[in-house]
Structure 1
Amino acid sequence: TSPATHRHADADDWLYVTVTRGDARAADTRGTLLRCDPPRGHSRAEDACAQLRSAGGDVRAIPRRDAFCSMIYAPVTVRAGGRWQGRAIDYTETFANACVMRARTGDVFALDE
């Protein structure tokens, strides 16, 4: 793949990511457009794009980090929708708390950091 072809492919790699804390009655939602050429969209965009590239754009394939998370239930729902290497991406998952979310999704949803 030539650098120009690779650059064009990355230009099409984007996800609109949201993080919703709380439940449906009292939800706080934040979102941003994560673009990967160059990485931008939130403070951890470079790491998030690298993790997505290594996982082929599949958030579920990002390696889990070892983490000691509290057992406190403070639900966090994440969503990512967009395009990655020509494929439509539509990912939604709810985690028990933000620590578990970070351990499972890397920096993709690190909007508060």
Structure 2
Amino acid sequence: MVRRGQRRPRRRAGPGFARRGAERFVAAGHGAGWSLQGWLTEFDHDSGRWWSWWDLTRSGDRTLSLWVDAGAESFFACDDLRWAAYTAGAASVAPHVPRDRADWLREPSL
């Protein structure tokens, strides 16, 4: 019960694992993250995004690889992908590393 003059505690939207993921993203030094609308805008291909989703594979017992097609670019802005991984429940996210098609073929898709 809230008494007169007291403020209700603000309830944060989203499931607990997503909130914890957002906290891990910030703690890892990647910035403050995005509002939902801002993040969705990052995934709009017409807004200048240079990569496309490719696949998600299992590369170890507790390790997944998120594959994207970045064309010929060896570097691209990928904090939106890190944010997606963390808020989907990832405990940690390794830095972006270009890999060969042969590596992708060896890992089972999920």
Quick check: TM above 0.5? no
Greater share of residues in helix: 2
TM-score scaled by length of structure 1? 0.29
Q: Which is strand-richer, 1 or 2?
A: 1
